[in-house]
C-alpha cells in the first residue's frame, strides 16, 4: 500500500509517495523552497505543486513545524504567525481535492523512526530530535507517542534552545562543528535532566553528516544514534498518518 507524504519545513517543502509496508520512498522526492513569508496561502500553493508534480490522487499526509491539534495549527515558530488557529487539514484538502492528515513534523519523523528506523523495537523512553531550521522533538514511552512536545523551545541562557542548537543557528553564526556541538551538548544535558531518555535519535538535514558531530557530544548518559531514515523520516511519517492514529 502507498500513501503520499509531505514534509513542510521552515526552509523547504518536500514530498514523495511512500511504500507503507517498507517505509521507503517510491521514487525521488520533490523539494521546493518554502515561500517567504510562509503564509498559509503561499505554503498551500507549494504543497499543491509538490503533489501535482507526481500526478498523485490517493491519500495524503502532511507535517507542520508547530503544534497541530485535530488538523489545526496552534503554534508557528518558524513560519508566518498567521498560521496560528488555521485549519491546515481543511486548507490543504480543499486545495488538493482530497482528505489530508496533518501532524507535527518531529512527531511524524519520530513515528517513522520508531517503526522503520533507529527506534524500531526499542522499549523505555525514546526521544527523537530533529535539527534543521529549528529543533523539533518527539517523545515515546514504550513506543507510544506523546504528541506536540516542542522541546526545542526550552529556554537556555535566556533564549529558545533552538536558536543555539539548530542547524540554522550553526550556519547563521558560522560555528565550526566543535563550536556548534558544544551548544548541542548543553541542550541535550538539559533535556536529559528533565526526561532521562534511554535513547536519543538525532535527525533532520544535518543527520546525514552525523559522523562529524555525534562523536563530539559530551556529558550525556543516554545512547545517541543518528536517524536511519535521515531527512526522509518526516515524509515517511506523514504518509503513515493517513492510516494510523499519529495525526489524531
Residue 245 has pLDDT above 50, yes or no: no
Same domain, 126 and 177: yes
Count of C-beta atoms within a 10 Å radius of residue 26: 15
Instruction: Please state the pTM of the whole predicted model.
Output: 0.94
pLDDT tens string 37-85: 999 999 999 999 999 999 999 899 999 999 999 999 999 999 999 999 9
Residue 63 lies in a domain: yes
Give Cα 171 to chain centroid, integer Å: 19
**CA 214/CA 225 separation, integer angstroms:** 8
Residues 46 and 98 in one domain: yes
- Closest by CA position to 130, among listed 110, 145, 149, 159: 110
Average pLDDT estimate for 138-154: 97
Same-domain pairing of 240 and 226: no
For 195-227, how does the pLDDT look when each residue is reduced to its tens digit (9 = 90+)? 999 999 999 989 999 999 999 999 999 999 999
Closest CA to 151 of 130, 133, 172: 130
127: which strand partners? 139, 200
CATH number for the domain harbouring residue 14: 3.30.420.40
Q: Are residues 138 and 103 in the same domain?
A: no
Nearest CA to 156 out of 129, 176, 183 is that of 183
Of all residues in the chain, what percent carry a pLDDT higher than 90?
94
Which residue in 3, 24, 27, 7 sits closest to 15, CA to CA?
7
Q: Is the pLDDT confidence value at 248 over 90?
A: no
37 preceded by cis ω (within 30°)?
A: yes
Same domain? 241 vs 226? no
Amino acid at each position: 500500500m502507498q500513501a503520499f507524504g509531505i514534509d513542510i519545513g521552515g526552509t523547504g517543502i518536500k514530498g514523495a509517495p511512500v511504500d507503507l509496508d517498507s517505509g521507503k520512498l517510491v521514487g525521488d522526492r520533490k523539494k521546493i523552497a518554502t515561500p517567504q513569508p510562509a503564509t498559509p496561502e503561499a505554503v498551500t500553493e507549494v504543497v499543491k505543486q509538490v503533489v501535482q508534480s507526481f500526478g498523485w490522487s490517493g491519500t495524503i499526509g502532511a507535517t507542520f513545524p508547530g503544534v497541530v491539534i485535530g488538523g489545526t495549527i496552534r503554534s508557528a515558530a518558524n513560519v508566518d504567525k498567521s498560521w496560528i488557529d488555521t485549519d491546515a487539514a481543511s486548507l490543504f484538502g480543499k486545495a488538493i481535492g482530497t482528505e489530508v492528515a496533518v501532524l507535527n513534523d518531529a512527531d511524524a519523523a519520530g513515528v517513522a523512526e520508531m517503526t522503520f528506523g533507529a527506534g524500531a523495537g526499542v522499549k523505555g523512553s525514546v526521544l527523537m530530535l530533529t535539527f534543521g531550521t529549528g529543533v523539533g522533538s518527539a517523545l515515546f514511552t514504550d513506543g507510544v507517542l506523546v504528541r506536540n512536545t516542542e522541546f526545542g523551545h526550552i529556554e537556555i541562557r535566556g533564549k529558545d534552545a533552538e536558536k543555539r542548537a539548530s542547524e540554522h543557528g550553526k550556519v547563521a553564526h558560522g560555528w565550526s562543528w566543535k563550536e556548534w556541538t558544544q551548544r548541542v551538548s548543553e541542550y541535550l544535558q538539559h533535556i536529559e535532566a528533565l526526561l532521562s531518555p534511554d535513547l536519543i535519535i538525532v535527525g533532520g538535514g544535518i543527520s546525514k553528516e552525523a559522523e562529524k558531530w555525534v562523536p563530539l557530544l559530551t556529558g550525556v548518559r543516554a545512547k545517541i544514534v543518528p536517524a536511519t531514515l535521515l531527512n526522509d523520516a518526516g515524509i515517511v511519517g506523514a504518509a503513515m498518518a493517513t492510516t494510523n492514529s499519529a495525526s489524531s
